[in-house]
Amino acid sequence: MTPSAPSNAAPSVLGKGERDPQDLEMQPLTGANGEDKSPSHPSKQAERPKKRLYNVWPSRNKFFCRGTMMTGGETEMGITPNCSVPNLCVWTCILAPCSLYFIWVFPHLWREGCYALPLATLAVFLMATGFLLATCCSDPGIIPRREVVIATKTAQQLQERLGYDMLASDTVPLDGRGGGRNLPVELTSRGYRWCRTCRIIRPPRSSHCPDCDNCVLRYDHHCPFVNNCVGQRNYHFFFGFVTSVLCLAMMVLPVLFWFLNSENFELAVDGMIHVSSGALQPVFYALIACILHAKVYHVFLIATKRQSPLSNSEAF
């Protein structure tokens, strides 16, 4: 006959009726300082660190000054992640001759009492460099991608600004798959196209830039000399840069050429001030013709609402 269990023994049960201090599986989740980290206290869980939008922007653009300034993506002629050879050449071709002009020619002209030409040259130089910097570091009119619009919850705001639903929420799935086959007819008939890279509907005259990897409003072309796209929001900067840099070349290069090829610069300055005709006239006429040609061409594009032949609007 088997001996009976002691009367003071606890009844046998399946499982564990109370928390065993030696059982780690039954203990609450606590941090290093003892505070509760269990799922029942979500307010005490460690929050995921947030990043600014420009730090995770899905493109090849480079951002500066906490996202207030940006430049284009790397090109096939890039020498560093933030600089390209054509853009570096443009800055060199502007700063090098102008530095020689302001160091050597400007003081001589000022001492001879010729104030209008040096001051005008200085003003045009500031305009040219300012327009170039604005073109290089401004937003050309980027249209955000589908994932950016969904993550920032700005679809309604963009619809009010653009005048249409760029996500096509009624006909296209949330992930954008198959969007090119399900576009609204009222949009495609007016020139709206589907971007298979950004998975959005882009308006007419906009295109996807393969260098920056963005859709740009009123995309004209990607200019390697400014290392940025030329679009709706910086086209006026680009137009001002082209005009002012040609005027600067007309004002600096002939005078600098005269200075470097004159044995007595004092006499050269005096002759340049009083010259009314001579060998420099063809140079001035050629530069003026280049300026007028560039201005007429860009005015024609603006007036006819066309893109330059450099744009590749059907590539993406």
Token output for 302: 């603006």
Can you give the pLDDT at residue 281?
A: 56
Q: Crossing angle, helix 85-100 and helix 235-260, to 10 degrees?
A: 50
CA dist 194 and 265 (Å) reads: 63
CA dist 170 and 148 (Å) reads: 19
Q: Which residues are CB-neighbours of 316 under 8 A, at least 6 positions away?
A: 195, 196, 197, 207, 208, 210
Q: Model confidence at 64, in pLDDT bands (50, 70, 90)?
A: confident
Q: Residue 163: pLDDT above 70?
A: yes
CA dist 252 and 100 (Å) reads: 9
Q: Residue 91: pLDDT above 50?
A: yes
Instruction: Convert the pLDDT of each residue in 295-312 to its tens digit.
Output: 676 666 656 555 555 454
Active site residue 65: no
Instruction: Convert the pLDDT of each residue in 191-227 to its tens digit.
Output: 899 998 889 999 998 999 888 889 999 998 888 889 8
Among 8-22, 46-60, 173-187, the least confident range: 8-22
Q: Are 243 and 91 in contact (CB under 8 A)?
A: no
Can you give the pLDDT at residue 268?
A: 60
- Residues in the chain, overall count: 316
More confident: 157 or 41: 157
End-to-end CA distance of the chain: 90
More confident: 1 or 265: 265
Can you give the pLDDT at residue 314?
A: 43
DSSP state of 30: B
Work out the average pLDDT over 16-34. 48
- Active site residue: 136, 137, 223, 247, which one? 223
Q: Model confidence at 1, in pLDDT bands (50, 70, 90)?
A: very low
Bridge partners of 30?
A: 36
* DSSP string for 201-258: EEPTT-EEETTTTEEETT--EEETTTTEEE-TTTHHHHHHHHHHHHHHHHHHHHHHHH
**Among 246, 232, 308, residue whose Cα is nearest residue 283:** 246
CA dist 271 and 28 (Å) reads: 94
Q: What percentage of the chain reaches a pLDDT higher than 90?
A: 20
**The pTM of the whole model exceeds 0.75:** no
Can you give the pLDDT at residue 287?
A: 61
Distances (CA, A) of 225 to 45, 88, 192: 50, 8, 30
Q: Are 68 and 222 in contact (CB under 8 A)?
A: no
